């Protein structure tokens, strides 16, 4: 299932509680040719309602909107494939991010339900922050992300969230997923202001596959959203 208009771009993260600020972000950036979509987080969706946020965003852009439930995939299979999917359909989101920490049965149920609803599943396994995996003091096995990614690919998933703060991880997952998918596609958060990921390095490690930087505070945290996005993209154009 295709999602974006190009093979490389930026996805601003709309993680602001204030719906008016989300709209200001969209209005300022939607006309830039390297902006390929938006990631809508739980703060604006819970504060204002997911269908209402989607309806308002659609007044200003037809670009794909990814819903990030933060974190969808951490409940039993029935919950992650049931009425929540109906909400996503009613809201008319284009894609949903899944971090299936509840296990392979939840992953399978959620992915299949999203495919049936004609919503693109985007699967994540490794996050961007410290002490996530067991080897660095976290709760999850170091082997868990690779299992998640490869299981998702076997279910037909083509889009994957990988950590923009960890270039070596992007390359590792790219190498393995390219064996299972003809053209894996990568989205990487953690770029720029806030978590400090290098946008150019992330794109370099994901090459030659389609890839998109998910940028939050590096765009919405700046006064001039449009200029901030353009500065980030300039670094990518120089690759």
CATH number for the domain harbouring residue 102: 3.20.20.70
Instruction: Tell me whether residue 1 is in a domain.
Output: no
For 197-226, the DSSP string reads: B-HHHHHHHHTTS-EEEEESHHHHTSS-HH
Whether 2 maps to a domain, the answer reads no
**Digits of tens for pLDDT over the chain (239 positions)?**
689 989 999 999 999 999 999 999 999 999 999 999 999 999 999 999 999 999 989 999 999 999 999 999 999 999 999 999 999 999 999 999 999 999 999 999 999 999 999 999 999 999 999 999 999 999 999 999 999 999 999 999 999 999 999 999 999 999 999 999 878 999 999 997 777 889 999 999 999 999 999 999 999 999 999 999 999 999 999 87
A 10 A CB-CB count for 172 gives: 17
Its domain, for residue 26, covers 8-237
How many domains are there within the chain?
1
Determine the Cα–Cα distance for residues 4 and 65; give it in Å rounded to an integer: 10
User: pTM for this one?
Assistant: 0.95
Identify whether the C-beta of residue 195 lies closer than 8 Å to the C-beta of residue 128: yes
């Amino acid at each position: 299932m295709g999602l974006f208009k190009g093979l490389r771009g930026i996805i601003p993260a709309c993680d602001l509680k204030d719906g008016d600020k989300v709209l200001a972000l969209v209005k300022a950036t939607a006309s830039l040719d390297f902006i390929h979509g938006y990631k809508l987080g739980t703060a604006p969706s819970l504060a204002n309602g997911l269908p209402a946020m989607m309806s308002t965003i659609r007044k200003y852009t037809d670009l794909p909107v990814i819903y990030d439930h933060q974190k969808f995939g951490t409940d039993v299979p029935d919950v992650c494939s049931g009425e929540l999917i109906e909400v996503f359909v009613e809201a008319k989101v284009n894609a949903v991010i899944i971090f299936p920490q509840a296990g392979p049965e939840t992953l399978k149920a959620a992915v299949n339900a999203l495919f049936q609803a004609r919503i693109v599943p985007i699967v994540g396994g490794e996050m961007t922050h410290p002490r996530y995996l067991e080897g660095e003091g976290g709760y999850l096995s170091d082997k868990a992300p690779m299992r998640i990614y490869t299981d998702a690919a076997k279910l037909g998933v083509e889009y994957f969230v990988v950590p923009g703060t960890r270039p070596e991880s992007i390359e590792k997952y790219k190498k393995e997923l390219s064996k299972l998918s003809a053209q894996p596609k990568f989205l990487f958060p953690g770029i720029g202001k806030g978590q400090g990921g290098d946008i150019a390095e992330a794109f370099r490690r994901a090459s030659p596959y389609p890839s998109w930087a998910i940028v939050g505070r590096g765009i919405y945290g700046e006064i001039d959203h449009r200029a901030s996005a353009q500065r980030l993209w300039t670094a990518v154009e120089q690759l």
